[in-house]
Structures are given as structure tokens and as C-alpha cells.
Amino acid sequence: DSGVTQTPKHLITATGQRVTLRCSPRSGDLSVYWYQQSLDQGLQFLIQYYNGEERAKGNILERFSAQQFPDLHSELNLSSLELGDSALYFCASSTLTSFDTQYFGPGTRLTVL
């Protein structure tokens, strides 16, 4: 158990819908990262927050957004869902913003029908 929690574990929805994925980092970790794992793209970095502020952005679509709240939990919002958004979404956390181990949560498996 990494100490990072993600909810829900599984999510099945339809095209065009909007969903919210939630992540709670390890106790004491200020940095939260979101990654997407799909069959065709592999594991890709989406976005990083540090203590409530966006720090780095990867290949995140405009239909996707994220935020980190004062209690340090984070949410990833996916809207106007397409079939290609079906993937495993991971949240990770670390204490620092760089030079630090990232610990991954169990992931949320999103299926868009």
C-alpha cells in the first residue's frame, strides 16, 4: 500500500459525459501528479500540482482539467468524453516538487462506451 488513495476504482460512462476522479496523497506529501495509461500511448504525464498551485503540464487535453484543494487532495475532471479517453488514470504524490520518489495510487479505470 503506497498510501495514495484514488476513487473510484472503476468508472463506466458514455461518450459526451463528464466525470471526476479523486486522489488523496500520502500524508505530508505536497506534490500531486496525474498520469494516463492507455494501450496506444503508454504511461503519460498529464499535470502536476504543488501545494495547490499548478507546476507542470504534460499532454493534457483541453477537455481535461485538474485542481488541488487546501487539504491537498486533488481532482481530475474529464469532460466531453470520447472512446479514446478510456484508460487507467493514476495519481502519484511526493514530498518535494523535484528530486523525489513518486508513489502511485491504485488507479481509476475509466471505460467510455
Partner 1 sequence: GIQVEQSPPDLILQEGANSTLRCNFSDSVNNLQWFHQNPWGQLINLFYIPSGTKQNGRLSATTVATERYSLLYISSSQTTDSGVYFCAVGSSGGYNKLIFGAGTRLAVHP
Which residues of the shown chain bind partner 1 in the complex (CB under 8 A)?
2, 31, 33, 35, 42-45, 48, 55-56, 58, 88, 90, 92, 94, 96-104, 106-107, 109
Write down the residue that cell numbers 528530486 correspond to: 99
Answer for the pair 64, 78: CB distance below 8 angstroms, yes or no: yes
How far apart (Å, rounded) are the C-alpha atoms in residues 10 and 83? 16
Closest contact distance (angstroms) between CB of 18 and partner 1 is 24
Closest contact distance (angstroms) between CB of 28 and partner 1 is 16
Whether cis (ω within 30° of 0) applies to the bond prior to 106 is: no
Smaller CB separation from partner 1, 65 or 95: 95
Q: For residue 97, is it left (φ>0), alpha (ψ between -120 and 50) or beta? A: alpha
Smaller CB separation from partner 1, 35 or 64: 35
Smaller CB separation from partner 1, 42 or 70: 42
Closest contact distance (angstroms) between CB of 41 and partner 1 is 10
